[in-house]
Amino acid sequence: MNKPLRRVAIFCGLLMLALLIRDNWLQYVRADELTSHKYNRRVEIERYAHERGDIIVDGKAITGSAETEDGDFRYKRVWKDGPLWAPVTGYSSQAFDSSQLENLEDGILTGNDDQLFFDRTLSMFTGEKKRGGNVVTTLNGDAQKAAFKGLGEKKGAVVALDPKSGAILALASTPSYDPSVFAGNSLKDSDNRQKLLKDEDKPMLNRALRETYPPGSTFKVVTAAAALENGLYDDIDAKTDSPLPWTLPQSTTQLQNEGNIPCENATLREALRVSCNTVFGKMSDDLGNKKMIEQTDKFGFNKEVFTPVRADASIYPEDNRPQNAMAGIGQASNRTTPLQMAMVASAIANDGKLMQPYMVAERQAPNLDPVYTHEPEELSRALSGENAQKVQQMMETVVKDGTGTNARIPGVTVGGKTGTAQHGLNNSEKPYAWFISYAKTDSGSPVAVAVVVEDGNANRDDISGGGLAAPIARDVMKAVIDSKK
């Protein structure tokens, strides 16, 4: 009986061998795949097992980490002033992933990014507790607060840029939300998020970057820049060829001005000061659709902007002649984000040089050593320095004694342009109030702002860029200038 016994022994050995081979296959060959499998909750557990790094404004953290009471995710994200900073940071939730900066800078914030490789390796030897790195933003706390205070209960957005570098100083969107309410993993978090998603006012929509509006009269600045750049007009104080009334091309419709303003053959400066539709409509028509598109391209239209948070593309489309003429006064199918109009204002304030907007100034390792520092970069040359200064003079006139007087700041040169963009079929809905502006001191321009207020509650006649939006822009600019003192 020993021969079959030996064979059975071999058989048992083979069974064990099969198990050993399978185990090696599973735990050695497939280990990486299984460890990082999308269903493997350990990835998430490890992700929340240590404190997340912070997002920093003005040297202070605007975020934090809190230890949770229950569940297997140890730390959750908290925001010091959630609604104020949500348009900048986005959210980071244990259950619902993350968005915006929290999402894009996740590698640094969790400490898993390759940029932190050296730091990680070092702390492996020193036995230090793992921690995420920090993201230092370009934002200015005072400007952000001023923007939110100005917008108040109204729906709208504010973007402030540093024209010289492209640094984003304020990025406000109202109504806002507190990302802390759904940062966790509980049923309550889920309910809170559902409530936000169902809210008709769309508090989670980042109006500064992801909503496009008709730009209204603020777009006349772009049209003026196109006219100067293409040599249609040279002298901003010379009379333009602008009949009144002026009939839209290929049409019998007469383009109207707001009220009885002196627009016939008005100079560029005068036409912008009182915001003549006829002058700029004809100007856009004279330049033609192609040249208008070229100019808007230089300002950054027609493609998405990454700040690094993605902003929707602002559009100046190919169109027929009457539509192109209307687009010249911002009332046709051209649409812009508030960020885009802030870029327009900043390019003009920066003597024609458009800088790439950005909001991450620095990334820091957990030990606060910088691993990345942003170098400002030029996005494009929007217009020549000479022409930029001409547009500046025109915009400064608007604030000095035009439609934008509400933006005046004592002792500071301010240039701006109001806009009241009609929208809805046959202008049926309440218009959007726009204001774009920049401030200038002895050392150049520290800030350019775009403000849009979409206020459905205000009395129709009260809605105007000068009345609603300009004071907000003024407060934001003032906050930036004051904080530099």
- Binding residue for other proteins (CB under 8 A) from 1, 114, 153, 459? 1
Angle between helices 338-349 and 220-229 (to 10 degrees): 40
217 catalytically annotated: yes
Question: 128 - beta bridge partners?
Answer: none
At residue 46, φ and ψ (nearest 5 deg) are: -65, -35
Kindly state the smallest distance separating residue 130's Cβ from other proteins, in Å: 14
Contact 348, 390 (CB under 8 A): no
CA distance 98 to 90: 7
Question: 77 - beta bridge partners?
Answer: 65
Q: What torsion do the CA atoms of 358, 85, 363, 309 make, to the nearest 10 degrees?
A: -40
Kindly state the smallest distance separating residue 31's Cβ from other proteins, in Å: 4
Kindly state the smallest distance separating residue 75's Cβ from other proteins, in Å: 16
Residue 63 neighbours by CB under 8 Å, 6+ apart: 52, 54, 55, 77, 78, 79, 80, 85, 89
Residues 7-36 contacting other proteins, CB under 8 A: 7-9, 11-13, 15-16, 18-20, 22-24, 26-28, 30-35
Reduced to 3 states (helix: H, G, I; strand: E, B; else coil), residue 36 is coil
Q: Which is nearer to other proteins, 14 or 122 (CB)?
A: 14
Residues 327-386 contacting other proteins, CB under 8 A: none
Kindly state the smallest distance separating residue 73's Cβ from other proteins, in Å: 12
Q: Quick check: 124 binds other proteins (CB under 8 A)?
A: no
Kindly state the smallest distance separating residue 118's Cβ from other proteins, in Å: 24
Catalytic residue among 65, 93, 165, 217: 217
Kindly state the smallest distance separating residue 407's Cβ from other proteins, in Å: 56
At residue 119, φ and ψ (nearest 5 deg) are: -60, -40
- DSSP secondary-structure letter at 140? -
Half-sphere exposure of 265 (CA within 13 A, CB side): 3
Residue 108 neighbours by CB under 8 Å, 6+ apart: 53, 115, 116, 132, 133, 134, 135, 363, 364, 371
Q: Which is nearer to other proteins, 188 or 239 (CB)?
A: 188
Reduced to 3 states (helix: H, G, I; strand: E, B; else coil), residue 435 is strand
Q: Which is nearer to other proteins, 41 or 239 (CB)?
A: 41
Residue 471 neighbours by CB under 8 Å, 6+ apart: 150, 406, 407
Q: Which is nearer to other proteins, 36 or 115 (CB)?
A: 36
Q: Which is nearer to other proteins, 35 or 441 (CB)?
A: 35
CA distance 362 to 383: 30
- Binding residue for other proteins (CB under 8 A) from 58, 72, 369, 378? 72
Residues 44-63 contacting other proteins, CB under 8 A: 45
- DSSP secondary-structure letter at 409? B
Contact 475, 485 (CB under 8 A): no
Burial class of residue 309 in the structure, from the number of CB atoms within 10 Å of its CB (0-12 exposed, 13-18 middle, 19+ buried)? buried
Q: Which is nearer to other proteins, 15 or 368 (CB)?
A: 15
CA distance 321 to 189: 52
Kindly state the smallest distance separating residue 66's Cβ from other proteins, in Å: 19
Q: Which is nearer to other proteins, 8 or 122 (CB)?
A: 8
Helix (H) or strand (E) run with residue 124 in it: helix 117-126
Half-sphere exposure of 83 (CA within 13 A, CB side): 13
Q: Which is nearer to other proteins, 33 or 114 (CB)?
A: 33
Burial class of residue 41 in the structure, from the number of CB atoms within 10 Å of its CB (0-12 exposed, 13-18 middle, 19+ buried)? exposed
How far is residue 110 CA from its own chain's centroid?
24
Kindly state the smallest distance separating residue 98's Cβ from other proteins, in Å: 22
Contact 140, 160 (CB under 8 A): yes
Residues in contact with other proteins, counted by CB under 8 A, come to a total of: 36
Kindly state the smallest distance separating residue 39's Cβ from other proteins, in Å: 5
- Residues engaged in binding other proteins (CB under 8 A): 1-9, 11-13, 15-16, 18-20, 22-24, 26-28, 30-35, 37, 39-42, 45, 72
Q: What are the residue numbers of the active site?
A: 217
